[in-house]
Structure 1
Amino acid sequence: MPLPSVRNRRADARRSKAAILDAAVRILDVQPDAGMEAIATAAGVTRQTVYAHFRSREQLLLAVVDRITEEIVAAMDAADLHAGPAADALLRLLDAGKQAAHRYPVLLQKISTLPVSPQIDHDRHTSVADRIRLVIQRGQQTGEFDDRLPPDWLVTVIVKLAHSASEEQEAGRMSSQEAEHALRTSVLRMLGAAAGEDSPSWPRGSACGGTRQYGR
């Protein structure tokens, strides 16, 4: 059993790490090129303490991605994915993810430029993909969605479509409403589902494209 002093040091380390991540999210979304010194000051710790937890700025940014992904997943879970028709649940899930990602537009844009391996990119999406897959499987089991394509493939395509809608909006080739409509229509048609233009589950004017959502 760890001695009290050891437990206290571990607790202090957890608190300082959490403070650094909180500060990094807050500072980098306003100043995406801010250095470790600025983040340390905002967190109330020394620069050496920041480097004790994160060996490089890139490592800190990757940890920030994980923190934001946790927020996105929590927002998706709060959307009650088990309630109502599967199509409505999926649209709520995508919209919840978009709303959470929109809290950090500048930061996510910066993070999206970081080079990562395909495996890291895949792992980064796992928690989000699991929730999308759950809704797709429910829809296929109830007959709401076409079951001729495997859920894993459909999850991959939906994530890619969300990123594409985001990129089109960011590039100015589509308005937020156009990106929303294109994504929504593409997803529902691919799944063999249908939803009216005025479906309350995805209100007009909410741009599901978003800024590099789902941990990107």
Structure 2
Amino acid sequence: MRSRAAILDAAVRLLNTRPEAGLQAVAAAAGVTRQTVYAHFPSREHLLTAALDRVTEEAIAAMDAADLDTGPAADALLRLLDAADRTAGRYPVLLQKSHALPADPKADHERHEPVTDRLREVIRRGQEAGEFDGRLSPDWLAVVVIRLAHAASDEAAAGRMPEEEAAGALRVSLLRVLGADESAAARGAGGA
């Protein structure tokens, strides 16, 4: 098990700086043989997928540390987004490389499900407290949040918007979609 963890740690570090690095380079960085890498990951694609799962686990831990059960739901949502953004900011190259992976809808759904669960709970809490509009389901709104976050990230990555502007637009857009009051939207615009 330690070999697998060492390989994943090395893969996350190496693929974030050298996205085209091969399994031999990952093995060297992990201090194991290439055969050991293959014993855990039958292909580079499997290793890249596992590295993305590792980054997702890190993002989820950061979200959980953001104390999503306290304070206004709008503030909790913004803390969740900040936690996700900080994690993504540490792995920009690796996450960009993930877009080149063949899309497996089931695996993608499973990877996003823990994030979706946390979003859904914050949204549900906001609806129950009257902070967010309750006419749309938390399931739908969680999907919208994820899609808008990806859109903001794509705009910044493509250079069509500065990162700070994309983050601010995302915050205001999300709070408006959720039907948060204007003071929450104003706080969201200032927090970018």
Tell whether the structures are fold-level matches, with TM greater than 0.5.
Answer: yes
Q: Is 1:176 paired with 2:163? A: yes
Partner of 1:18: 5
Partner of 2:45: 58
Structure with the higher fraction of residues in helix conformation:
2
Contact residue 24 and residue 39 of structure 1 kept, 8 A: yes
Q: Which amino acid aligns with 2:134?
A: D
- 5+ long unaligned stretches in structure 1: 1-13, 207-216
**TM-score normalised to the size of structure 1?**
0.85
* Residues 57-96 of structure 1: per-residue CA shift (max 9 Å, x gap): 0000010011000000000000000110000000000111
Contact residue 72 and residue 96 of structure 1 kept, 8 A: yes
Partner of 1:186: 173
What secondary structure does 2:32 align onto? coil
What secondary structure does 1:80 align onto? coil
* Residues 28-77 of structure 1: per-residue CA shift (max 9 Å, x gap): 11110000001101111100000000000000001001100000000000
* Residues 13-38 of structure 1: per-residue CA shift (max 9 Å, x gap): x0000000011011111110000001
Partner of 2:32: 45
* Residues 119-159 of structure 1: per-residue CA shift (max 9 Å, x gap): 22111100100000010010111111111000100000000
Shift of 1:202: 7.2
Partner of 1:152: 139
Shift of 1:111: 1.4
- Written as runs of structure 1 = structure 2, the 5 A alignment for 1:57-206 is 57-194=44-181, 195=184, 197=186, 199=187, 204=191, 206=192
Contact residue 8 and residue 50 of structure 2 kept, 8 A: yes
What secondary structure does 2:132 align onto? coil
Shift of 1:171: 1.4
Q: Which amino acid aligns with 2:58?
A: E
Shift of 1:177: 2.4
Name which of structure 1's ranges 73-82 and 177-186 shifts more when overlaid on structure 2.
Answer: 177-186
Q: Percent sequence identity over matched residues? A: 63
Name which of structure 1's ranges 44-53 and 110-119 shifts more when overlaid on structure 2.
Answer: 110-119
Q: Which amino acid aligns with 1:18?
A: A
Question: 1:100 and 1:203 mapped to 2: Cα distance?
Answer: 21
- 5+ long unaligned stretches in structure 2: none
Contact residue 162 and residue 183 of structure 1 kept, 8 A: yes
**TM-score normalised to the size of structure 2?**
0.95
Question: 1:202 and 1:93 mapped to 2: Cα distance?
Answer: 15
What secondary structure does 2:8 align onto? helix
From the superposition, tell whether residues 134 and 196 of structure 1 become closer, same or farther in structure 2 (CA, over 3 Å).
closer
Contact residue 176 and residue 185 of structure 2 kept, 8 A: no
Question: 2:31 and 2:168 mapped to 1: Cα distance?
Answer: 44
What secondary structure does 1:17 align onto? helix
RMSD value, Cα: 1.3
Larger Rg: 1
From the superposition, tell whether residues 90 and 202 of structure 1 become closer, same or farther in structure 2 (CA, over 3 Å).
farther
